[in-house]
Copies of this chain bind each other. A is one copy, B any other.
Amino acid sequence: MAADNFAIGATATDGGAASEVIEAEGHLIDSQILNNVFDTVVKRNASFDVLKFSIGRSNDEPSRISMRISAPSESELTEVLEELVSLGCRVADTHDAVLREAEQDGCVPDDFYSTTNHRTMVRHKRKWMEVSHQRMDAVIVIEDGAATCRKLRNVKKGDRVVCGVSGIRVIPEFVDRDRQGFAFMTNEISSERRVEVGVSRIASMMREAKDAGGKIAVVAGPVVVHTGGSVHFQELIRSGYVNVLLAGNALAVHDVEQALFGTSLGVDLDTGRAIEGGHRNHMRAINTICRAGGLRQAVEQEVLTSGVMYECINHGVDYVLAGSIRDDGPLPDTIMDLVAAQDRYAEALEGVRLVLALSTMLHGIGVGNMLPSSVKMVCVDINPAVVTKLADRGSSQTLGVVTDVGLFLHRLAQRLRA
């Protein structure tokens, strides 16, 4: 039972030329929702008047609030409401979501509702229904009585798109205190932490995901190879802890270079000696795979007999290599059409419950953008700014670890073996 709090006869604050009553419930204080709501209102030069509030008396009970938001004009009110809805408030009125038709392919009405990555409900024909394929920065289309997230570029002329803020309800991922262990490091990203604590937590999450039948995806940059993490990463693959590998051309090329020549960008991984003009091995690796016709063919022809890509192919890991402007080659496997690459990434991420992003800001951000907030993401990088940036996007529940990725993988493989 929550301790209730009633305020009778509340009216709009004088200053407000336009106002609307909003409601929210849940772990409003724990999840900092209430704090963010108040901040947003004040920052926007609007004001609030709390009508009802009941606080959860213990950690398990939800809180509830009802408040009137007032702003100097209708348009300013709309802007505040848009932000509050994305935080988890809903307009207290009882209308359906407004639908408007897309005027042309890839283009929607100006007041379209832009999605967050949180679970979202839409009210249509007096019924609340959940939006499928939730992801951020999409629009919601109602089609055949169902609501679904659609990327702007996939919208077709005539699609009925949700606009405005009525009839929309966002359900922010609840940061459970029982999962404090996960959350604890999120806010403070620092290299001055004991990595073993993070490793042990991540190992548990991987075991849980695996035991529950959920998929684990690894997004990896070439630094995994440069830092000697490859052999430990291969162990993770062989042990079944990697279901999906999302990477760029460079990871695969460096991996093949190491497998064929023992070097990575011309640096001998055993002695650390740099070879002048070491790019030659790099280009030879590409040439060799091109001759075979691709990575899979190179494995079949026994040209490629070790390494991360070899293990992926041997253990049925779904890998997608996305191209970039800096790519040499590329390998025949690398998808240079980025629309196709994004689609393949998104497809491979279906059913994934946990993502490890290892030393790759570019692909890490790309993947973060595609995930619903219920998927956990772990970001490992030696540069705290990269970890902060990945964690900052609010695109999912993120655990950041600032450390050497090679040594991290060594410890993680060790821990998972134990």
Residues of A near any B CB (own CB < 8 A): 3-7, 10, 13, 29-30, 32, 34-36, 38-43, 47-50, 52-59, 82-83, 86-87, 103-104, 106-108, 110, 112, 114, 116, 136-137, 152-153, 177, 180-181, 184-185, 188-198, 201, 223, 226-228, 248, 267, 269-277, 279-280, 282-284, 286-288, 290-291, 322-330, 336-339, 341-342, 345, 362-363, 365-366, 369, 382-385, 388-389, 392, 402-404, 406-408, 410-411
Whole-angstrom CA separation of A286 from B411 in the bound complex = 33
Listed from nearest, the 9 A-B pairs whose CB atoms lie closest are A194-B228, A197-B272, A325-B366, A86-B277, A407-B407, A5-B5, A326-B366, A323-B338, A3-B7
Question: Smallest CB–CB gap between A93 and chain B, Å?
Answer: 20
Contacts of A184 in B (CB 8 A): 272-274
With both beta carbons as reference points, the residue of chain B lying nearest to A41 in the complex is identified as B59
Contacts of A325 in B (CB 8 A): 248, 322, 324, 338, 341-342, 345, 362-363, 366
Tell whether A407 pairs with B195 under 8 Å between CB atoms, given A29-B38, A42-B180, A152-B287: yes
Whole-angstrom CA separation of A92 from B180 in the bound complex = 29
Whole-angstrom CA separation of A32 from B31 in the bound complex = 11
Q: Does B40 lie within 8 Å of A406, measured CB to CB?
A: no
Tell whether A382 pairs with B369 under 8 Å between CB atoms, given A83-B276, A197-B272: no
Most B Cβ at <10 Å: residue of A10, A83, A280, A345: A280
With both beta carbons as reference points, the residue of chain B lying nearest to A368 in the complex is identified as B326
Contacts of A274 in B (CB 8 A): 184, 188
With both beta carbons as reference points, the residue of chain B lying nearest to A228 in the complex is identified as B194
Q: Does B114 lie within 8 Å of A279, measured CB to CB?
A: yes
Tell whether A195 pairs with B107 under 8 Å between CB atoms, given A34-B29, A184-B272, A323-B338: no
Q: Does B284 lie within 8 Å of A110, measured CB to CB?
A: yes
Contacts of A83 in B (CB 8 A): 275-277
Q: Does A362 lie within 8 Å of B326, measured CB to CB?
A: yes
Most B Cβ at <10 Å: residue of A34, A86, A269, A338: A338
Contacts of A87 in B (CB 8 A): 276-277
Q: Does A181 lie within 8 Å of B271, measured CB to CB?
A: yes
Most B Cβ at <10 Å: residue of A283, A322, A324, A363: A324
Tell whether A49 pairs with B53 under 8 Å between CB atoms, given A110-B287, A227-B195, A403-B404: no
Contacts of A269 in B (CB 8 A): 194, 197
Q: Does B59 lie within 8 Å of A38, measured CB to CB?
A: yes
Contacts of A363 in B (CB 8 A): 325-326
Q: Does A35 lie within 8 Å of B43, measured CB to CB?
A: no
Whole-angstrom CA separation of A153 from B331 in the bound complex = 9
With both beta carbons as reference points, the residue of chain B lying nearest to A289 in the complex is identified as B107
Contacts of A152 in B (CB 8 A): 283, 286-287, 290, 329
Whole-angstrom CA separation of A112 from B277 in the bound complex = 14
Most B Cβ at <10 Å: residue of A30, A108, A326, A402: A326
Whole-angstrom CA separation of A227 from B401 in the bound complex = 12
Q: What are 18 A-to-B residue pairs whose CB atoms are below 8 Å?
A: A3-B52, A38-B59, A41-B59, A48-B59, A49-B58, A86-B277, A108-B287, A114-B280, A137-B283, A137-B328, A153-B290, A188-B392, A191-B385, A198-B272, A325-B341, A325-B362, A362-B362, A404-B407
Q: Does B47 lie within 8 Å of A59, measured CB to CB?
A: yes
Whole-angstrom CA separation of A197 from B286 in the bound complex = 26
Question: Smallest CB–CB gap between A344 and chain B, Å?
Answer: 10
Question: Smallest CB–CB gap between A273 and chain B, Å?
Answer: 6
Contact of A177 among B42, B190, B195 (CB under 8 A): B42
Contact of A291 among B107, B342, B382 (CB under 8 A): B107
Contact of A53 among B3, B177, B275, B284 (CB under 8 A): B3
